[in-house]
Amino acid sequence: MAIRVLFVPFQYPDKSGRPGETYKAKNAHWISMTRQLRDGGDTHSVLECWYHPSIFGNPLLSRLGKYDQVYIRGHCIPGFDGIFDLDARVDESGKNVTAPNVPRPIIDYLHDRVFSQRLVMSLTTQQVVQRLTGSGLSPGFAGKIKCYNCHSAENGEQGDPSFAARVKAQLAALAYVDCKVYGYTGSLSSSHEAALGHKTSLRQDSTSVRASIARVEV
What is the pTM for the complete model shown?
A: 0.91
Instruction: Evaluate if residue 115 carries a pLDDT over 60.
Output: no
**pLDDT of amino acid 61:** 93
Residues 118-170 have pLDDT tens digits of: 667 889 999 999 999 999 999 999 999 999 999 999 999 889 999 999 999 99
Residues 4-45 have pLDDT tens digits of: 999 999 999 887 888 899 999 999 999 988 877 655 455 678
Q: Are 74 and 106 in contact (CB under 8 A)?
A: no
**pLDDT of amino acid 124:** 95
d(CA 43, CA 203): 29
- Cα–Cα nearest to 183, from 217, 133, 137: 217
- Cα–Cα nearest to 8, from 127, 89, 109, 107: 127
**pLDDT of amino acid 154:** 97
**pLDDT of amino acid 100:** 53
d(CA 184, CA 213): 9
Q: Are 167 and 91 in contact (CB under 8 A)?
A: no
